[in-house]
Amino acid sequence: MNHALWLTNLRVRMTADGDGSKTANKKMLGKILLKQKLVSKDELDSLLEKQKEEPSRRLASTALDSGAVSSTDLLKALSEQHGLPAIDLVQVVVPLANLDLIPNDIAVRHLILPILVRDDRIFLAMADPTDRRVIDEIEFVTGRRIFPYVALHRSIKVVIDDCYAQKERGDTHYVGQEVPDEYLESMGVERNESRPGLITPDMVVESDRPLSNAPHDAELDVAFVDDVQPRKTEPPAREAPCVLVVDDEEDIRRLLERVLTQRGYEVVEADNGNAALDAVREHAPDVILLDAMLPGVHGFEICKRLHGSQRYGHVPIIMLSAIYRGWRMAADLKRSFGVKTFIEKPFKIADVLAAVEQALNGDPSVVVEEDLSSEAGAAIDRAIDIYQGGDVPGAIEILRAGIAVDPLCFELHYHLGLLFGRNDDVFDAINALEMAIELSPKNFAALKNLAVVYQRAGFRHKAIEAWERALTIAPDDETRKTIKEHLMGLL
């Protein structure tokens, strides 16, 4: 993609939107400090009085500056407040190439710092990890999944300035003041030559509070044991070409449905990204009219999942959006995401109809094997054989190869998530199980196992949300009772 255009658009939209709304559904930090016996009631009252002198100052910063609470204890309290892991920035090694993903002014404005980048994930330190708008924007612009970590407000301001200043000087890595020598030594590098590593347990600070009063209930299922009832994906027989119209604006869907139907096309509609993926799998459209900005799964993410897959990669996509302008953006979309045509909003109906006709009557479609769903089944069978032989990494690669053929097969993503979880690759497990749930939102097994891996990764609020969703579709009273008891330990 033309990254400069993406970053410019991000900067303009974030600046125009202001600071955005903050999520209020979190515990009061003062109450947590009292509960954890980090301060007395009189000490808390004194801190609150000091904070009143500077209303814009955060309670955590006031407590840290006063010396009443240590930084480690504050991070533990913030972890409980937000239900997320906290990160101690004095112990991090940051590859400064990560900063290319987020402009300096955006990082300073929103106090965010990409600590680690791995494949399609960004581990993001944030002063305010409740700012969902910022997370959504970064995910949209970079095409990567964000895993937020809460950081101390004062610390992250200093580290952001240091990181971007060092990058400007030509340095390659930022090394926190308290990065253990043994950690750097284990990587075989000198302190001033640090290479990117993992986010280690020493860097991550979690609440002292146990994640559950019933830990034996929070176990991952074993892969390939249960019948998770994969949904049928055979498209219905039809005579007219099928056009999938995806837009969250009802007026636009209604307009396109009317004019396309009048031209003799069969039309299927979807108002969000998840519904679009369902429609692709169930109806196998001949062409897709796709909005870029969608609730749930963004239009670009849909393109990325379909592009290059054997089962759906041949389906032409016409993207409709008011976000980006110019031939360069259209060329980037075609090259990176397989978008056949880009049409700006507001659009002319004649242009849309011409694009649909050209997509259907252009180059012959790639010949697709009649039953690629059997390829997915064969991948699962091969993975079972390899897994039972004790080769978990081999089974994972087989499932990944199956997903490359059919990226919308629930069973492949589900079992891949279980294998990642058993292999302690919790972030890969989260990705795979979240994908499975996008494909089958009311699958109890997938929701239950996603809740388990959220807990393992320290994302307590997300774990609670997943358990609550699983509770509504639990298969029997005994399971519901167990989940309720488990939730009581998390709440």
Q: Would you say 123 and 116 are in contact if contact means Cβ atoms under 8 Å apart?
A: yes
- Together in a domain, 118 and 9: yes
CATH code at 320?
3.40.50.2300
Q: Does the residue 15 lie in any domain?
A: yes
- Together in a domain, 250 and 188: no
pLDDT recorded at residue 341: 83
How far apart are the C-alpha atoms of 247 and 245, rounded to whole Å? 7
Domain boundary among 185, 205, 225: 205
pTM exceeding the 0.75 threshold for the entire prediction = no
- Together in a domain, 421 and 353: no
Domain boundary among 338, 361, 384: 361
- Together in a domain, 448 and 339: no
- Together in a domain, 409 and 282: no
Overall number of domains in the chain? 3
pLDDT recorded at residue 307: 77
pLDDT recorded at residue 287: 94
Q: What is the pLDDT along the chain (491 residues), one digit of tens a residue?
A: 444 444 545 554 444 444 444 443 446 887 888 787 888 888 788 878 887 777 767 787 777 777 778 888 888 888 888 888 888 888 888 889 999 999 999 999 999 999 988 877 899 999 999 888 888 888 877 878 888 999 988 889 999 999 999 899 888 888 887 877 776 666 554 565 444 444 554 555 555 544 333 333 456 676 655 555 544 445 556 778 999 999 999 999 999 999 999 999 999 999 998 889 889 988 889 999 999 888 877 788 888 888 767 788 888 999 887 765 544 555 566 666 668 888 888 888 888 999 999 888 864 333 333 344 567 778 888 888 888 888 989 999 999 988 888 888 888 999 999 999 888 888 889 989 998 988 888 889 999 999 999 988 888 888 888 999 999 988 888 888 988 888 887 76
Q: Does the residue 265 lie in any domain?
A: yes
Q: Does the residue 446 lie in any domain?
A: yes
- Together in a domain, 195 and 253: no
Q: Does the residue 397 lie in any domain?
A: yes
CATH code at 453?
1.25.40.10
Domain boundary among 299, 329, 361: 361
pLDDT recorded at residue 364: 39
CA proximity to 148, closest of 468, 459, 491 = 459
Q: Does the residue 45 lie in any domain?
A: no
- Together in a domain, 417 and 345: no
- Together in a domain, 312 and 399: no
- Together in a domain, 357 and 440: no
Q: Does the residue 114 lie in any domain?
A: yes
Q: Does the residue 476 lie in any domain?
A: yes
- Together in a domain, 275 and 132: no
Domain limits at 258? 242-361
The dihedral formed by the CA atoms of 151, 154, 156 and 158, expressed in degrees to the nearest 10? -160
pLDDT recorded at residue 17: 44
- Together in a domain, 173 and 275: no
Q: Does the residue 231 lie in any domain?
A: no
CATH code at 89?
3.30.300.160
- Together in a domain, 357 and 376: no
